[in-house]
Amino acid sequence: MAKTRGHSSKRLTRHVLLAVSLSVSVLLPLLLPAAAATTAVAVAEGDGEIKSALGAGRHGKDKGELVAEGDTAGGGSVEDDEFAGGFGSLDSMLQWAIGNSDPEKLKEEAADVQKLSADELLKRREEIKELMEKLKMPSDADLMKIAIADLKNSSISLEDRQRALQELLVLVEPIDNANDLDKLGGLLPVIQELNNADEEIRITSAWVLGTASQNNALVQNQILGYGALARLVKMGYSSSTEEAAKALYAISALIRNNVNGQEAFHSENGSAMLQHILVSDNIDVRLQKKAVFLVTDLADFQLNSGNPQLPFLSDRLFLKSVVDMLSRFDLDLHEKVLLAIKSILKLSSTDAEDFESHDLEGVLLRLGVQLEDLTPEDQKEFAGEVDALRREVQTLFQQKLKQK
């Protein structure tokens, strides 16, 4: 029984691969029968001087030879055509499609094609067309349904579950497919996988949710409606950098430019999670950069929408954790933190005196010295940019203090 299951999943993977690679490289020439026929005719008529796409001014009585020369001349689309003609079976086509990079084998297959006459080539092309029709490429919706059915099946193996999620990850990239995910009953099963005991599964499902909701208000609201944000915020506390990073990715995609999402983030205490990431010394700095980036993004959204949904951005303790990050030794982090402070300073809800109480002035001055004196030679240019930003923040801060 389990064998059958595994087999069908493998088939699905092959279908996905096939769909992805065939559409680009094999189907294209096949779908252009006119162009293919023209090439073939040019070859067929080639008794004397032949000027075709295959190479100008070649003599050739032997039609096969001409095709061969076209190959060595390396004309892009013509070459692809010939490879398409060289596949006698779906399996060999598959092998090629999934990136068979054995050059000897490719050469052999190309050589086989070169032995064919123009008529035979045409016939071959017809055969492949028929084959494609028989194969009946499954639609993306079909593939999504199979993956969703797998996710809903509590008796499939962990491996098959992970594979189903990975297939969905690819499938939900186009916005139309992402919009279909809930209609096909797939959103809830993916959200449920956020609770899986297996970390890899949790990571991949967060990834799917982030990808599906990216720049997509419909899917954002569907996921928020199912209450997935609470779970993602918890995942942000994970001691696994990878898991916390994917949770942050999904959260960012969910609440970006979305007022509902930002309100939910606030009520789920998302700011405490961000603060946890910012203040912990033993957290991967890449994760901290992602968190700071999210802070800037949220502040900019508030600035542009004039909608103060996120009071934590002006919270005194939160500001402290942001300012404290400037004491680290990481130029890239400095830049991101300065950008965040710049955006936060512009918020009307921010009190400059809160920054003052965390000695922003002194921190900025020390950072200036550090950028000047401690930067390795190969980073001087970047340090110059960061320093310009630092001065900008300093000016903005002083102005805001005066306005009080």
Ligand X SMILES: *[C@@H]1O[C@H](CO)[C@@H](O)[C@H](O)[C@H]1NC(C)=O
Task: Note the residues at the interface with ligand X (CB under 6 A).
Answer: 1-2, 5, 149, 153, 155-156, 269, 272
Residue with Cβ nearer ligand X (269 or 357): 269
Beta-carbon contacts of residue 373 (< 8 Å; ≥ 6 apart): none
Residue 144 or 333 with smaller CB distance to ligand X: 144
* Residue number, 269 or 398, with CB nearest to ligand X: 269
| Residue 251 vs 339, nearer CB to ligand X | 251
- Output the smallest distance, CB 156 to ligand X, in A: 5
H/E element, 56? strand 55-58
> Measured from the CB of residue 219, what is the shortest distance to ligand X in angstroms?
26
Task: Give the list of residues 6+ apart from residue 38 with CB closer than 8 angstroms, or none.
Answer: 53
Residue at shortest CB range from ligand X: 5
CB of residue 283 to ligand X, shortest distance in Å: 16
Strand-pairing partners, residue 58, are 50
Q: Of 38, 275, 191, 122, whose CA–CA distance to 46 is shortest? A: 38
Residue 343: HSE in the Cβ half-sphere, 13 Å Cα cutoff: 21
Minimum Å distance from CB 42 to ligand X? 52
CA distance 59 to 197: 69
Is 315 or 361 the residue whose CB approaches ligand X more closely?
315
> Which contiguous run of DSSP H or E holds residue 50?
strand 50-52
- The residue whose two tokens read 């550090």 is 370
With contact defined as beta carbons under 8 Å apart, do 181 and 219 qualify? yes
Helix axes of 63-73 and 33-44: crossing angle, nearest 10 degrees:
120
Min dist. Cβ of residue 314 to ligand X (A): 16
Residue closer to ligand X by CB (options 1, 34) is: 1
Please, which residues have CB within 8 angstroms of residue 229's CB and are 6 or more apart in sequence? 223, 251, 254, 255, 261, 264, 265, 268, 270
Tokens representing 378 are 């190969």
Shortest Cβ distance from residue 71 to ligand X (Å)? 46
| Closer CB to ligand X, 272 or 303, in the complex | 272
Nearer to ligand X, 66 or 156 (CB): 156
User: Which residue, 151, 150, 144, is CA-closest to 177?
Assistant: 144
CB of 269 to ligand X, least distance (A): 4
CB 201 to ligand X: min, Å: 16
DSSP state of 330: -
